[in-house]
């Protein structure tokens, strides 16, 4: 009976769309689903594509649960309604719009700009694909009240998305996120959307904004003299068919680097991502072609950005000359170590500086902050929370940098989102700095572990697609809340942090203390030996994520592989006990 009720509701939604002012191709696709593809009909119409706290993300296609011009249009109309209400005192409201390389991204971006214009809002639209961080920069540079970037980040090719930014250049957070969601939900039909904006009124953004942005990236350099002394560091960079294709090489060259190699096949802008299974630099296969190129030319550093160029994955050479992949925790740690140590050496630390990381990112960064007597914040996953910390402190403190384990990092506060262009530039500077000291980036990694502790992290993604998958993920979270582990690998669980309930529980005494962070469906289990296990459903993909972090002292350089192996085995045992492998 329940399945029949769902099917009836789905059919009613599909019929409503058939009777709305949509194009003929969409109507034909709906008729085909109604007549012969019940499964696709349910997946396309069983719900409205959720406008979440960051915007939209979903599979492209026809239907209420798909990314298309109509769901994008309804989201934009809701955003416009909120902007008109929120900034009613202003004579002019403006929005900046950008897009990545994905199929339909230029179309969705243009429609977004047109709807803004139709609502009397000034719209700036980039003349081609641009990195997400440049959109954040442009909002601040132009004094816009909001911004939109059309991207699904590193998701597979069938996805697209729509991220909304506020006037500070950061992604929307409370109260604006929930208020915009309310306005979007109030758009009951496609007919409520003002699609007829005058394209001639859209203002084009191009080279002038690019130049301003690159100038700010280069200003973040701490030791330009080491680049001048070692400009010939061999670097291989790939945009994986995405928006970093021009801006990363341009930034590196302006920094002073002269030996930049590309991967020609992956410089081709293509939303089908033909050379990779997934355009995600977190996945080792996405860097295969770049690694091959690096071995051909003898490169010291490999860097790959995702389609909207806000994340970067890297590879460096170990002491045997072999290229090894560096994970997101390590990349964020290397960047943090360089920034903190060099700010310290140059006497730039006054007691008012700080860094930020997310709650699932390595505690090594916290150790470094404490060592250099720099304040740090832990925030929920998402750079919008890092941007919020910057906004709250920008008149009294100086932001050095911040990052998260999923290959995102931000340097300085001129952009309020993770930035692969700035990160690539700083990573290249670290390579030059290492060489100036007669070392490699691998040596710097070991140096960092010797100075602090050797942290080892791991991540498991459990994918569960569709309606049934979403329900299963919720059941898994409910199970962990009802029956949390009391011991793992022989070490007691001493603290359980439940960010949905916003409380931390001492497992030994039962004492509860509040967590001063927004509500989020995240659980953390802290063990007596200092290990940390975090569990959270992804907010953008059909998966639940399990994060593992363990550590130990590293006393001697030659013990690195042994201690690392011991920590890896420890994580494997935790995964086995949780029945994840």
pLDDT in 10s for each residue of the chain, 581 residues: 456 777 888 999 999 999 999 999 999 999 999 998 888 999 999 988 888 777 899 999 999 999 999 999 999 999 999 999 999 999 999 999 999 999 999 999 999 999 999 999 999 999 999 999 999 999 999 999 999 999 999 889 999 999 999 999 999 999 999 999 999 999 989 999 999 999 999 999 999 999 999 999 999 999 999 999 999 999 999 999 999 999 999 999 999 999 999 999 999 999 999 999 999 999 999 999 999 999 999 999 999 999 999 999 999 999 999 999 999 999 999 999 999 999 999 999 999 999 999 999 999 999 999 999 999 999 999 999 999 999 999 999 999 999 999 999 999 999 999 999 999 999 999 999 999 999 999 999 999 999 999 999 999 998 888 777 888 889 999 999 999 999 999 999 999 999 999 999 999 899 999 999 999 999 999 999 999 999 999 876 778 999 999 999 999 999 999 999 999 999 999 999 998 98
Tokens coding 103? 């199929």
Strand 532-537 with 543-552, pairing: antiparallel
Tokens coding 137? 């920069």
Same-domain status, 511 and 528: yes
Q: In what order do the strands lie in the sheet with 203-205?
A: 55-59, 159-166, 146-150, 94-99, 122-126, 203-205
Same-domain status, 479 and 341: no
pLDDT at 1: 40
Burial annotation 217-253 (CB, 10 A radius, 16+ → b, else e): bbebbbbeebbeebeebbbbbbbbbbbbbbbbbbbbe
pTM of the model: 0.94
Same-domain status, 471 and 421: no
Same-domain status, 22 and 166: no
Q: Please state the three-class secondary structure of 27-78 as a single string.
A: HHHHHHHHHHCHHHHHHHHCCCCCCCCCEEEEEECCCCCCECHHHHHHHHHH
Last residue of a domain, one of 451, 477, 494: 451
Same-domain status, 41 and 61: no
Contacts of 564 (CB under 8 A, 6+ apart): 454, 456
CATH number for the domain harbouring residue 488: 3.30.530
Question: What is the number of domains present in the chain?
Answer: 4
Same-domain status, 245 and 349: yes
Phi and psi at residue 448, to the nearest 5°: -65, -45
Cα distances (Å, whole numbers) of residue 61 to 37, 40, 74, 114, 492: 14, 10, 15, 21, 48
Last residue of a domain, one of 171, 205, 239: 205
pLDDT at 557: 96
Same-domain status, 194 and 218: no
Give strand pairing partners of 377: 356
Strand 353-358 with 375-379, pairing: parallel
Last residue of a domain, one of 180, 205, 230: 205
CATH number for the domain harbouring residue 62: 3.40.120.10
Residues taking part in catalysis: 153
Same-domain status, 285 and 380: yes
Tokens coding 80? 């416009």
Of 555, 580, 345, 378, nearest in space to 459 by CA: 580
The vertex-480 CA angle with 474 and 481, nearest 5°, equals: 90
Same-domain status, 225 and 372: yes
Same-domain status, 276 and 354: yes
pLDDT at 37: 87
The domain in which residue 459 lies consists of 454-577
pLDDT at 564: 97
Three-class secondary structure of residue 255 per DSSP: helix
pLDDT at 2: 52
Cα distances (Å, whole numbers) of residue 580 to 20, 476, 488, 526, 544: 46, 12, 13, 18, 12
Same-domain status, 405 and 280: yes
Same-domain status, 382 and 322: yes
Whats the size of the chain, residue-wise?
581
């Amino acid at each position: 009976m329940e399945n029949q009720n769902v099917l009836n509701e789905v059919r009613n939604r599909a019929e409503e769309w058939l009777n709305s002012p949509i194009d003929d191709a969409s109507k034909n696709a709906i008729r085909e689903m109604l007549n012969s593809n019940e499964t696709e009909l349910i997946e396309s119409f069983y719900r409205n594509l959720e406008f979440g706290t960051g915007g939209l993300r979903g599979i492209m296609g026809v239907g209420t649960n798909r990314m298309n011009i109509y769901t994008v249009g309804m989201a934009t109309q809701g955003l416009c309604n909120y902007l008109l209400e929120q900034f009613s005192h202003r004579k002019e409201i403006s929005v900046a719009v950008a897009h990545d390389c994905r199929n339909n991204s230029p179309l969705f971006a243009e429609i977004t700009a047109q709807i803004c214009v139709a609502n009397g809002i000034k719209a700036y639209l980039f003349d081609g694909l641009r990195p997400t961080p440049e959109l954040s920069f442009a909002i601040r540079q132009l004094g816009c009240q909001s911004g939109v970037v059309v991207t699904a980040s590193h998701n597979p090719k069938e996805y697209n998305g729509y991220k909304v930014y506020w006037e500070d250049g950061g992604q929307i957070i409370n109260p604006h996120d929930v208020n915009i969601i309310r306005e979007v939900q109030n758009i009951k039909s496609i007919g409520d959307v003002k699609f007829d904006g005058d394209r001639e009124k859209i203002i084009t953004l191009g080279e002038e904004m690019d130049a301003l942005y690159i100038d700010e990236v280069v200003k973040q350099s701490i030791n330009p003299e080491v680049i001048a002394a070692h400009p010939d560091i061999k670097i291989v960079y790939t945009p994986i068919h995405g928006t970093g294709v021009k801006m990363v090489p341009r930034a590196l060259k302006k920094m002073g680097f002269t030996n930049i190699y590309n991967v020609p096949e992956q410089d081709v802008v293509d939303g089908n991502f033909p050379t990779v299974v997934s355009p995600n630099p977190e996945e080792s296969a996405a860097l295969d072609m770049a690694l091959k190129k690096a071995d051909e030319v003898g490169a010291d550093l490999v860097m790959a950005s995702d389609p909207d160029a806000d994340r970067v994955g890297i590879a460096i050479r170990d002491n045997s000359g072999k290229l090894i992949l560096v994970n997101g925790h390590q990349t964020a740690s290397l960047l943090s170590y360089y920034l903190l140590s060099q700010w310290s050496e140059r006497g730039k630390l006054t007691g008012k500086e700080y860094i930020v990381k997310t709650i699932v990112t390595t505690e090594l960064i916290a150790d470094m902050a404490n060592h250099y007597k720099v304040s740090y914040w832990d925030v929920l996953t998402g750079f919008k929370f890092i941007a919020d910390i910057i906004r709250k402190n920008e008149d009294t403190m100086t932001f050095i940098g911040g990052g998260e384990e999923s290959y995102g990092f931000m340097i300085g506060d001129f952009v309020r989102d993770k930035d692969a262009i700035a990160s690539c530039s700083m990573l290249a500077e670290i390579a030059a700095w290492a060489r100036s000291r007669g070392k490699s980036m691998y040596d710097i990694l070991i140096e960092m572990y010797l100075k602090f502790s050797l942290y080892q992290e791991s991540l498991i993604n459990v994918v569960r697609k569709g309606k049934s998958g979403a329900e299963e993920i919720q059941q898994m979270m409910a199970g962990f809340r009802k029956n949390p582990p009391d011991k793992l690998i022989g070490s007691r669980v001493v603290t359980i942090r439940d960010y949905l309930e916003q409380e931390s529980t001492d497992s030994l005494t039962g004492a509860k203390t509040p967590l001063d962070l927004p509500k989020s469906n995240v659980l953390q289990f802290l063990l007596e030996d200092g290990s940390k296990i975090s569990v959270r459903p992804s907010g953008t993909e059909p998966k639940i994520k399990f994060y593992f972090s363990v550590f130990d002292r590293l006393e001697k350089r030659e013990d690195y592989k042994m201690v690392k192996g011991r920590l890896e085995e420890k994580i494997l045992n935790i995964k086995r006990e949780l029945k994840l492998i």
